[in-house]
Amino acid sequence: MLGEGIVKGLGETARNFFGSFVGKERLTTVQFPEERLIQPEATRVFPFLIYDTDDMEKGLRCVACKICEVECPPKCITIEKSTEKKPDYAGKPQFFPAKFDIDVSVCMSCQICVEVCPFEAIKMDTAFELSTDDRFGGLLWQKDRLAKPNAYYHTIHPTEAAAVDEELAEKKAKAEAKPAAPAANTGAAAVR
C-alpha cells in the first residue's frame, strides 16, 4: 500500500531518536577534548628516535646506516653521518647521525622506516595534537626533537617495547659471548 515504506522509515528514525537518550549505542559521539578515545596500541602517527639510558647523545641507538632514508617512500628523512664513532649498546664503536631531519609535512606515516631499521632505533609515536603556526621550520623536526627515551616508548607501546627490549637483550648476550672466542684465536695466532 502506498505510504507503508514511509511509515516504516519514520518508525526506524523515531527508534533512533528515543534510543539516543537511553543508550550509548545510539549516540556515538565522543566530545573531544573533554572526552577522548583510547588509542589502540598499534596507532602510528610520526616517527621518533629512541635512546637508551638518560643521555641522548650517548644512548642514541641510531647508527646512521641510512637504510630508512633510502626506503622512505616520500623521501622525508635526511641523515648526515658523523665523522667520529661512539660505542653502541653492545660496546661496539658505531657512527651516529650528526643530523637527522624528518620533514613532517611530507611524511605519510607509512611505518616503512620502522620496519626496515635493523637497530630498533626508530619507532612510531602516537601524539597527534601537533599544530603549529610555523609552516616551514616548525614542521622540519630535528634530532633533538625526535629523540625520546626508551621509557617513553614503553608508555606508548608497552607490548612492542617489551618485545624489543627482549630481542636487544638477546643480541647483547650473544655479542658478549662471542669476543671470548676471537680473543683466544688472536692470542693463539700471535703465539704461533
Partner 1 sequence: MRWGTASADDRMVEIAGDPDGGELLEISMGPHHPSTHGVFRMNVQLEGERVMRLKPVFGYLHRNHEQIAEKVSYLASIPYTDRLDYLCSMTNNWAYALSVEKLAGIAVPERAEYVRVIVAELTRLQNHASLIGFLMQDMGASGTPLMYAFREREKILDLFEQLSGARMMCNYMRFGGVRVDPSADWLNGVRALTGAFPRFLNEFEKLLMENEILISRTQGVGVLSRELAVNAGITGPMLRASGVNYDVRKVDGYGIYERFQFRVPLGEHGDVYDRYMMRVLEMRESVKILEQALAGIPGGPVMDPKARLRGLRPKAGEAYGRIESPKGELGFFLISDGTTNPYRYRVRPPSLINLTVLEDMCLGRSVADIVVTLGSVDIVLGEVDR
Partner 2 sequence: MTQALDQIFVTFKHWAVFHSPAAFQPAVSVLLSIVPVLIIFPSLFAVTTILERKGLARIQNRYGPNRVGPFGLLQPLADGLKSLTKEDIVPRSADKLVHFAAPLLLVTTAFMEYAVLPVGRNMVLADMESGVLFFFAVSAAMELSIFMAGWSSRNKYSMLGAMRAVAQMISYEAPLILSSVAAVMAAGSLSTVTIVEKQAGYSGIWPHWYVLTPWGLGGFLLFMIAATAESNRSPFDLPEGESEIIAGYFTEYSGFKFALFFLGEYLGMFAISGLGITLFLGGWAAPFSFLTWIPSWIWFFGKLLALIAMFIWVRGTLPRLRMDQLMNFAWKFMLPMTLMVIFSAGLWRFLPQGVLRWVICAVPIAGLYVLLGRNLTSGQRLEKRTYGFAE
Does 37 contact partner 2 by CB under 8 A?
A: no
Contact range with partner 1 by CB under 8 A, out of 8-16, 142-150, 170-178, 181-189: 8-16
CA distance 167 to 28: 41
Task: Select the binding partner of residue 80 from partner 1, partner 2, none (C-beta < 5 to 8 A, by kind).
Answer: none
According to CB under 8 A, which residues from 149 to 168 bind partner 1? none
Give the three-state DSSP class for 102. strand
Contact range with partner 1 by CB under 8 A, out of 102-110, 148-156, 163-171, 173-181: 102-110
Amino acid identity of residue 83, one-letter, is T
Does 112 contact partner 1 by CB under 8 A?
A: yes
Does 39 contact partner 2 by CB under 8 A?
A: no
According to CB under 8 A, which residues from 25 to 64 bind partner 1? 28, 39-44
Residues 51 and 148 sit within 8 Å (Cβ to Cβ): yes
Residues 45 and 126 sit within 8 Å (Cβ to Cβ): yes
In the complex, the smallest distance separating the C-beta of residue 2 from partner 2, rounded to whole angstroms, is: 3
Does 6 contact partner 2 by CB under 8 A?
A: yes
- Dihedral sign for Cα atoms in the order 56, 59, 63, 66: negative
Task: Select the binding partner of residue 17 from partner 1, partner 2, none (C-beta < 5 to 8 A, by kind).
Answer: partner 2
Closest CA to 47 of 118, 119, 137, 127: 127
Label residue 78 exposed, middle or buried (CB < 10 Å: 0-12, 13-18, 19+): middle
In this chain, which of 17, 75, 183, 187 binds partner 2, going by CB under 8 A? 17
CA distance 147 to 96: 13
Give the three-state DSSP class for 144. helix
Interface positions with partner 2 (CB under 8 A): 1-3, 6, 9-10, 12-14, 16-17, 20-21, 26-29, 31
What is the binding site for partner 1 (CB under 8 A)?
2-6, 8-9, 11-13, 16, 28, 39-44, 67, 71-73, 108-112, 115-116, 124
